[in-house]
Amino acid sequence: MPAQPSSPDELPAEPVAGLPADLLEAREGTGATFPATLAAYARRPRALDQAATWWSSPDPVTRLVGLELSAVLAGPASPLPLDERERARHQVAAHASEASTGDDADLRWAAAKALGAAGPSAAALDVLTILIGDDDPDVRWQAVACLPLALGSDPGIVQGDPGRRAVETLVSATADSDDDVVEQAVFALAEQLEPDGVAATPAVADALVRRLDSPGETGGLAALGLARRDDPRAEPAVRAALEKTLADPEFELDEPWLSAADLLPGLATLAADVRRAGATLGDS
């Protein structure tokens, strides 16, 4: 059996079936070693074919690396020319679609992440919509986190049918049974999407209102999303949170509440009082 290549520079031009030892070792490590090693492989000839070969492997780790390499080749830092980059984006979507209906939760999670890393794509939105309904909350969270990335910022897409479907999916995710998924969905609606057009519907505002009492940052993010949409239901909730902070020094106010207050002129004095009180406590 021929020896596996030991570095990206020694990788044969023809795709190889197994993972080279250095790539496997880097993936099992920590820090930036694996992304740097994967980027080096992305610069090799026929890297996209290599990614497809690894994806076709029966070994789960090899398939994961193939998907991750395809995502690097499709993403903004890709060394490929634009036409080849589009081919890589289609490859990511096809492989992620296959993974989305499989039994491997790690692979489904990686599929969602790869779709976000690969850049805007209508096909990616379709697959992420499936993954947001996954049984595994970690997969659902990753899919929600990557949905705005797959949507992109092109007004023709964001304000068209893809944008409407993405917003409807995020609104549904604000009612998820997992708190982390809910927070990520509220964050997407509150901060990642522009508060106009398809993201400024009554359904969006009502979904945010239902999360004003949520724990952690979720309530503050919901208030911020409402304030950005000039919804009058934001001010009473933000006022109550600020007043509670002044009345109870043990109460920890999450930053989104103050960000929301900054958008509400009637709360400028109260927000300043909260900030002064926080500075005083920090100095004591």
Q: What is the average per-residue pLDDT within 277-284? A: 58
Residue bearing the bigger pLDDT, 21 or 190 = 190
- Which amino acid appears at position 159 of this protein? Q
CA distances for 225 relative to 182, 207, 255, angstroms: 14, 10, 13
What percent of the chain clears pLDDT 70, i.e. is strictly above it? 92
Q: What is the average per-residue pLDDT within 208-219? A: 96
What percent of the chain clears pLDDT 90, i.e. is strictly above it? 82
Which two structure tokens, joined as six digits, stand for 5? 């290549």
pLDDT of residue 32: 85
pLDDT of residue 279: 59
pLDDT of residue 283: 46
Q: Per-residue pLDDT for 15 more than 70?
A: no
Q: How confident is the model at residue 1 (pLDDT cuts 50, 70, 90)?
A: very low
* CA proximity to 38, closest of 57, 65, 17: 65
Q: How confident is the model at residue 2 (pLDDT cuts 50, 70, 90)?
A: very low
Q: How confident is the model at residue 108 (pLDDT cuts 50, 70, 90)?
A: very high
pLDDT digits (tens, 9 = 90+) for 124-140: 999 999 999 999 999 99
Q: Per-residue pLDDT for 96 more than 90?
A: yes
pLDDT of residue 6: 44
Which two structure tokens, joined as six digits, stand for 224? 């911020």
d(CA 65, CA 51): 8
CA distances for 270 relative to 74, 245, 282, angstroms: 48, 10, 18
pLDDT of residue 282: 43
pLDDT of residue 250: 86
Which two structure tokens, joined as six digits, stand for 213? 């009492």
Q: Per-residue pLDDT for 257 more than 50?
A: yes
How many CA atoms are closer than 13 Å to the CA of 243, on its beta-carbon side? 7
Q: Are 65 and 90 a contacting pair, CB within 8 Å?
A: no
Compute the mean pLDDT over every residue in the chain, rounded to the nearest whole number.
91
d(CA 261, CA 220): 10
Q: Per-residue pLDDT for 46 more than 90?
A: yes
CA distances for 176 relative to 136, 144, 184, angstroms: 12, 11, 10
The SS3 of residue 10 is helix
- Buried-state track 39-67, b at ≥16 Cβ within 10 A, e below 16: bbbbebeebbebbbbbbebeeeebbbbbb
d(CA 193, CA 188): 6
pLDDT of residue 14: 58
The SS3 of residue 94 is helix
- Report the predicted TM-score, pTM, of the whole model to 2 decimal places: 0.88
d(CA 117, CA 24): 21
